């Protein structure tokens, strides 16, 4: 489930569909059900995108602040994907019996 919140800005269908498209991109890493909260806001001249994804007791957060909302969404989802990838690698490493790296 994807929930999109607009703060201090008008909700546009284009931004909403773009955010949903980006969230679906993260599905390839999770391959299971997850909940996503996308918060798009404007503060002075900054466009802020915050994405929170929760699945099976895990939570990852990606936040980006730029001059363009689309660029902020791209940057935030890149951060989310990196966190999910690292989390999966750690889990696989532990399952294989490797000791955690310091």
Residue 81 is assigned to a structural domain of this protein: yes
pLDDT at 98: 65
- What's residue 36's pLDDT? 92
**Residue 56: how many CA atoms within 13 Å on its side-chain side?**
7
Among the listed residues 87, 78, 21, the one whose alpha carbon sits nearest the alpha carbon of residue 54: 87
Quick: pLDDT tens for 36-55.
999 999 998 899 999 999 98
Residue at 27 is within a domain: yes
Task: With respect to residue 88, please indicate whether it lies within any of the assigned structural domains.
Answer: yes
- pLDDT, position 20: 92
* Residue ranges, the chain, pLDDT below 70: 31, 98-102
Q: What is the pTM of this model?
A: 0.83
Question: Which pLDDT score, from 0 to 100, does residue 38 have?
Answer: 95
Residue 100 lies in a domain: no
In angstroms, the CA 14 to CA 60 distance is: 25
Range of the domain at 20: 2-95
102, part of any domain: no
CATH number of the domain enclosing 64:
3.30.160.100
Check if the beta carbon of residue 81 is closer than 8 Å to that of residue 60. Answer: no
Question: How many structural domains is the chain composed of?
Answer: 1
- Domain assignment present for residue 101? The answer is no
Residue 85 lies inside a defined structural domain of this protein: yes
């Amino acid at each position: 489930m994807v929930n999109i919140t607009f703060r201090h800005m008008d909700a546009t269908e284009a931004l909403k569909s773009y955010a949903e498209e980006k969230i679906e991109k993260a599905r390839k890493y999770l391959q299971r059900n997850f909940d996503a909260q996308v918060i798009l806001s404007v503060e002075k001249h900054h466009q802020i995108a915050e994405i929170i994804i929760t699945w099976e007791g895990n939570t990852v957060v990606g936040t980006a602040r730029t001059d363009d909302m689309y660029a902020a969404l791209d940057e935030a989802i890149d951060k989310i994907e990196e966190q999910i990838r690292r989390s999966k690698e750690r889990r696989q490493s532990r399952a294989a019996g490797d000791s955690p790296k310091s």
